[in-house]
Amino acid sequence: MRLIVILILAAFWSEPILAQRVEYTLNMRMDGRHELFTGDSTHIWGFIEIGGFGSEEKLLLPSPTLTATVGDSVIVKVVNVSDEGHTIHWHGLDVDQENDGVPHTSDFVLTGDTFTYRFKATHAGNFIYHCHVTTTLHLMMGMYGSFIVYSNQPDEIYPGGPRFDRQYDFLGSELDKALNDDFMTGGMPYSDEKRHFLLNGLQKQQLYEASKNRIELHKGERVLLRLINIGFDVNDYHFPEAVQAIVYTSDGRPLPEPFETVNLQLYPGERYSVIIETDEDDFKGNIVVNYLKMYRLQYAETNHIGINNDVYPVYIGEQADSRNTGLHIFPNPAINRITVQGLSQDVRSVQVFDTKGAQYLLPINKAGEVDVSRLKSGFYLMRASGSSSLSGKFIKR
Amino acid sequence: MRVFILSLILFFSFSALRSQVKYDTAYLNSGYLHIDHEDIPLALFTESSRFDTVDRVFHASPGETLHLTLYNLLDFDVEVGCDLITETVIVPAGGNRTLTITTQDPGGYGVYAQNDELKYYGLSTVLRVAKENQHNYVWNLRAFDKEANRRISEGNTPDFDAFTPLIFTLNTEAFHVNQMNMRGMVNGNVNDSIYITFAGSNIMHHAPHFHGYHVEIIHSNMENHMIGWSKDSFPLKRDEIITVLLVPHQPGTFPVHDHNLISSTTNGNYPGGIMGMLHIMP
């Protein structure tokens, strides 16, 4: 009888013991600077953790990643030390209305005010927190970060789910320098001309060279990628051929059937958990992340994530501003044939490079057409043969 | 006695047959959408010959055959089709034609002009196939470039390469914080089964996001690998019609909006554009 009573009490107590209370205190600020890959810097807003490791002074883009374990009670106290009102919306965490962070249905944290958000982390997975005040502007200014809910077992995606050896988070977003430089006169972020396409707040070689964003993957290991998109465009991930990528969760929920893929598109607000493996010894390669606009899925920009690779792959005549490349390539993506505009009539061939740097010389006819049918599927850079200034990019399907 | 039984069988069979056929009408109509102090020309399927900006949404039960008679009040012929059938009808200016649609599985299906410009201009709506006693909502999402609409209204070809939408609508109305979009309201209770059909009606892709809840994606008019997934944010591609099932676990008032946040503005003002609201009672 005594044993039964003990077991019953243990059953009741086990959940509160396992479920912890996680507390954060965040300041809402509007006085940050962020360095771009061009060497310029621009103005950012964001959240800064008070008392958190290394977060005492400088606003970071994105804001710090907050974490909890499934079942935890989460308490986040925010202090608005900025000149405007803000909130936090807990994107995907399905919190109650009071804690939802939408000004016209929930609370609004005015200058000098504090507010305490309380909710339970009910599902393991990848989530986002962001300001929901004048959201287009406040997001573009940088008021967002990842919120990761871990499983009870630190090496599984969700309770009872697949296990992994190592994990990396990638948060896609965008920044419009004109707007960030002066949000009063910079206009709304409709223009693609001055947009910067970011992963973990970084872009191009700046992203590639940050060691924390370089994936370490060895034969026999399972590496978890937490992919999150808080931007306005589609994040279009292409995995290398030698990497097996299996998608296990989306939006903090296990998929009914995990699936293997070479290409994964994240629309704005979506999140995925993907485990990658390789059978190759000493594999080196890159994950290509294209940014596609929501109208016609037009290609806008590319970032690369290195896997065991520290040589940035695309500095082959590429200019600092890759949009100023001079070549118009269509259709893009292409299947068998592309047309290239912007070349002089005397150009008879183009150089094409894959993401590993392999080079192909392809003939181009007088109509500007290039046969790409023999290329493998993937992302390619093109340079006009004999020219160092004209370059372009295309995707072969 | 035998004749009586036979008559009864015939009567019930006839009744059953009658219940599987439905007749409906709509008008191909043009007018103006008045949003943010601007008049934007467009054309819609409307309920009556008098223009209003409410999209005509068609309903049928699974297995029902819908005879849809379309009256064309525009001054040009319009070819109209539906996702469920391969045949189309050309509705002459000033005339009418009937589209016969045999429905199958529950879900949302497009009824639209075959011409891309007219489809963009507003001639695109939804046939919702569902049981009548369900909570069924249809949200039709559009992005309008005022210049493109003006050019179409004048009989010119729009320049879609320069497409710059500033007007975003849900059921042809934009959200405003002081005057919420009444056509984008969902009312229900905790544990209800609420079906919301999203239509990506013109040429943008969208990314609806639910606050407060995850929903199950249960149907698409396109090939969609997300059927059966539980999501709070999902892609809604151009011309795609997705039906989701919401079973609320908590009460509250929560927005549902496009997370391509530019689409949650009207002429640059946030909140606006594509935003609906959920009102869930205990």
Task: Look up the CATH number of the domain holding residue A262.
Answer: 2.60.40.420
Q: Please check whether residue A322 lies inside any domain of the structure.
A: no
Same domain, A196 and A123: yes
What is the structure's pLDDT at A174? 93
What is the structure's pLDDT at A17? 52
What is the structure's pLDDT at A11? 55
B232 touches chain A (CB under 8 A): yes
Same domain, A167 and A247: yes
Q: What's the rounded mean pLDDT across residues A69-95?
A: 96
Whole-angstrom Cα distance, residue B160 to residue A296?
Answer: 10
Contact status, residue B256 vs residue B211, Cβ threshold 8 Å:
yes
Q: Please check whether residue A9 lies inside any domain of the structure.
A: no
| pLDDT tens digits for range B167-202 | 999 999 988 766 778 889 999 999 999 999 999 988
| pLDDT tens digits for range A319-368 | 333 333 457 787 877 888 888 877 776 777 887 877 656 678 888 887 78
What is the structure's pLDDT at A310? 80
B255 touches chain A (CB under 8 A): yes
Same domain, A379 and A275: no
Print the domain residue range for A144.
19-313
Q: Please check whether residue A7 lies inside any domain of the structure.
A: no
Whole-angstrom Cα distance, residue A158 to residue A152?
Answer: 8
**Residue A317, φ and ψ in degrees, nearest 5:** 75, 10
Q: Please check whether residue A160 lies inside any domain of the structure.
A: yes
| pLDDT tens digits for range A95-153 | 999 999 999 899 899 999 999 999 999 999 999 999 999 888 899 999 999 999 999 99
Structurally, how many domains does chain A consist of? Answer: 2
Task: Write the residue in A92, A97, A139 that is nearest to B252 by C-beta.
Answer: A97
Q: What is the CA radius of gyration of chain B?
A: 20
Confidence of residue A312 (pLDDT cuts 50, 70, 90): confident
Nearest residue of B to residue A136 by CA position?
Answer: B261
- Token pair belonging to A199: 């992963």
CB contact under 8 Å between B212 and A100, yes or no, is: yes
Q: What is the residue-wise DSSP string for B175-217? A: --TTS--GGGEEEEETT--EEEEEEE-SSB-B-EEESS--EEE
The chain-wide mean pLDDT, for chain A, equals: 86
CATH superfamily of B21-281: Cupredoxins -  blue copper proteins (2.60.40.420)
Chain B 65-104, residues with CB within 8 Å of chain A CB atoms: none
Q: Please check whether residue A1 lies inside any domain of the structure.
A: no
Residue A78 pLDDT > 80: yes
Whole-angstrom Cα distance, residue B258 to residue A359?
Answer: 41
Residue A314 pLDDT > 60: no
The nearest CA of chain B is from the CA of A188 a distance in Å of 6
A311 vs A269: which has the higher pLDDT:
A269
Residue A224 pLDDT > 60: yes
What is the structure's pLDDT at A54? 46
Instruction: Look up residue A261 and give its amino acid.
Output: T
A186 vs A77: which has the higher pLDDT:
A77
Task: Look up the CATH number of the domain holding residue A360.
Answer: 2.60.40
Which SS3 state, helix, strand or coil, does residue A17 take? helix
- Token pair belonging to A190: 């409709």
Same domain, A211 and A338: no
Same domain, A164 and A273: yes
Same domain, A105 and A69: yes
Q: Which of A249, A280, A313 is the last residue of a domain?
A: A313
What is the structure's pLDDT at B14? 54
Q: Please check whether residue A385 lies inside any domain of the structure.
A: yes
Q: What's the rounded mean pLDDT across residues A83-98?
A: 97
The chain-wide mean pLDDT, for chain B, equals: 92
**Contacts within 8 Å (CB) and 24+ apart, A155-160:** A157/A124, A157/A125, A157/A224, A157/A248, A157/A249, A157/A254, A157/A273, A157/A275, A158/A70, A158/A123, A158/A124, A158/A125, A158/A249, A158/A254, A159/A70, A159/A124
What is the structure's pLDDT at A68? 98
Beta strands in A267-390 (DSSP E): 271-278, 285-292, 299-307, 328-330, 337-341, 349-353, 359-363, 369-371, 378-384
Q: Please check whether residue A5 lies inside any domain of the structure.
A: no
CB contact under 8 Å between A294 and B205, yes or no, is: yes
Whole-angstrom Cα distance, residue B217 to residue A309?
Answer: 39
Same domain, A299 and A332: no
Task: Write the residue in B235, B262, B277 that is nearest to A267 by C-beta.
Answer: B235
What is the structure's pLDDT at A323? 39
Nearest residue of A to residue B256 by CA position?
Answer: A102
Same domain, A119 and A256: yes
A318 vs B40: which has the higher pLDDT:
B40
Confidence of residue B162 (pLDDT cuts 50, 70, 90): confident
Q: What's the rounded mean pLDDT across residues A79-84?
A: 93
Q: What's the rounded mean pLDDT across residues A280-301?
A: 89
- Token pair belonging to A128: 């986002």
Q: In what order do the strands lie in the sheet with B252-258?
A: B185-189, B275-281, B252-258, B208-210
Whole-angstrom Cα distance, residue A148 to residue B166?
Answer: 34
**Residue B78, φ and ψ in degrees, nearest 5:** -135, 130
Same domain, A209 and A273: yes
Confidence of residue B12 (pLDDT cuts 50, 70, 90): low
- Token pair belonging to B272: 């606006």
Residue A382 pLDDT > 70: yes
Contacts of A102 in chain B (CB under 8 A): 211, 254-255
Q: Please check whether residue A318 lies inside any domain of the structure.
A: no
What is the structure's pLDDT at A337? 87
